[in-house]
Amino acid sequence: MSNDKILAFTVSDMTCGHCAKTITGAVLDAYPAAKVEVDLATKRVSIENAGDRAAVASVIEAEGYFPVDA
Ligand SMILES: [Cu+2]
């Protein structure tokens, strides 16, 4: 199930390029058609064309990070 709304999370424990890559990869594995944008400076992750907010948050949490609504 996908839709075209944009979800935005702040992930405070996303501290480096490796974290960004891990999170991006996990979201794309779950939602191959998604578009993921990461801004490390603001710890913000924007995700377009994925699942609902709770499901996408779960994917990020499964990697060991703690996304909060941004
Ligand atoms: Cu990192």
How remote is the CA of residue 69 from the centroid of ligand 1, in Å? 20
Each residue's pLDDT tens digit, 5-41: 899 999 999 999 999 999 999 999 999 999 999 999 9
CATH number at residue 31: 3.30.70.100
Residue 17 CA to ligand 1 center (angstroms) comes to 6
* Strand-by-strand arrangement of the 6-11 sheet: 35-39, 44-48, 6-11, 67-69
R_g of the chain computed on alpha carbons? 10
Q: In angstroms, what is the span from residue 16 Cα to ligand 1's centroid?
A: 4
In a domain, 38, yes or no: yes
Q: What is the pTM of this model?
A: 0.92
> What confidence category does residue 4 fall into, taking pLDDT thresholds of 50, 70 and 90?
low
Domain count, the chain: 1
**Does 39 reside within a domain?**
yes
Residue 10 resides in a domain: yes
* CB-based contact 56:26 (threshold 8 Å): no
Interval between CA 35 and ligand 1 midpoint (Å):
20
Q: Which helix (H) or strand (E) holds 66?
A: none
Residue 1 falls within a domain, yes or no? no
Distance 33 CA to ligand 1 centre (A): 24
